[in-house]
């Protein structure tokens, strides 16, 4: 898909870093302030969508693989952190899958590196949701290009 005019590109160049910082802030403070992985992930996806629409996006296999790879990384992070609880149950005899009891340190409440598993869960969910919505945007762009091609054929 081709990009948009220079007005859209210039203003989105200003807005995209701000939106990305807001999304990262909400993701990384998921255990401290309202919000979390899903909410911050949608905001990051909004910034990436603005980038894709303003500057154009090429729908080759490499970009799709990149999106799917980051998405899988998020789910793998969640799965590994959840499996740490199961490993703890095997070794020490208490706890269970996804349970953080003596696995990750709780830390001081209110600090960024606190609350044990909640921070990696938020980050993984944020990656998963942001890239998931990017995949949806890719599907929409594909449909749009398909319609344009069909119109050109007629």
Partner 1 sequence: MAAVLFLAIVTLAFAVIFTLSFPSFGSGRSLAIGYYLPRALEDTGALNVVTTIVWDYRGYDTLGETTVFFAAAIGALLLFRRREHR
3-class DSSP state for residue 144?
helix
The residue (of 18 and 145) whose beta carbon lies closer to partner 1 is 145
* Residue of 112, 146, 147, 148 interacting with partner 1 (CB under 8 A): 146
- How far is the C-alpha of 1 from the C-alpha of 73, rounded, in Å? 27
- Work out how close the CB of 130 gets to partner 1 at its nearest, in angstroms, rounded to a whole number: 11
Structure tokens at 137: 């945007």
Structure tokens at 149: 């091609």
Give Cα separations from 118 to 31, 32, 73, 139 (angstroms): 6, 10, 17, 31
- Work out how close the CB of 71 gets to partner 1 at its nearest, in angstroms, rounded to a whole number: 6
Is 3 within 8 Å of 54 (Cβ atoms)?
yes
- How far is the C-alpha of 78 from the C-alpha of 41, rounded, in Å? 15
The residue (of 18 and 142) whose beta carbon lies closer to partner 1 is 142
The residue (of 51 and 133) whose beta carbon lies closer to partner 1 is 133
Is 50 within 8 Å of 60 (Cβ atoms)?
no
- How far is the C-alpha of 26 from the C-alpha of 7, rounded, in Å? 29
Binding mask 35-74 for partner 1 (x = CB under 8 A): -x----------------------x----x---x--xx--
Give the interface segment with partner 1, choosing from 3-11, 15-23, 26-34, 48-56 (CB under 8 A).
26-34
> Which residues contribute to the site for partner 1 (CB under 8 A)?
30-34, 36, 59, 64, 68, 71-72, 75, 78, 82, 98-100, 106-110, 114-118, 121-122, 124-125, 128-129, 131-133, 135-136, 138-139, 142-143, 146
């Amino acid at each position: 898909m081709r990009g948009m005019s220079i007005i859209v590109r210039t203003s989105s160049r200003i807005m995209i870093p701000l939106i990305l910082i807001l999304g990262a802030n909400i993701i990384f403070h998921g255990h401290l302030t309202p919000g979390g992985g899903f909410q911050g992930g949608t905001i990051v996806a909004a910034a990436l969508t603005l980038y894709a629409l303003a500057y154009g996006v090429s729908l080759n296999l490499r970009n799709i693989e990149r999106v799917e790879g980051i998405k899988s990384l998020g789910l793998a992070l969640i799965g590994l952190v959840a499996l740490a609880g199961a490993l703890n149950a095997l070794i020490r005899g208490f706890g269970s899958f996804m349970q953080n009891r003596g696995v990750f340190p709780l830390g001081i409440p209110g600090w960024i590196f606190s609350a044990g598993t909640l921070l990696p869960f938020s980050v993984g969910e944020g990656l998963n949701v942001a890239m998931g919505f990017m995949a949806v945007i890719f599907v929409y762009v594909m449909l749009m290009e398909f319609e344009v091609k069909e119109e050109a054929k007629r």
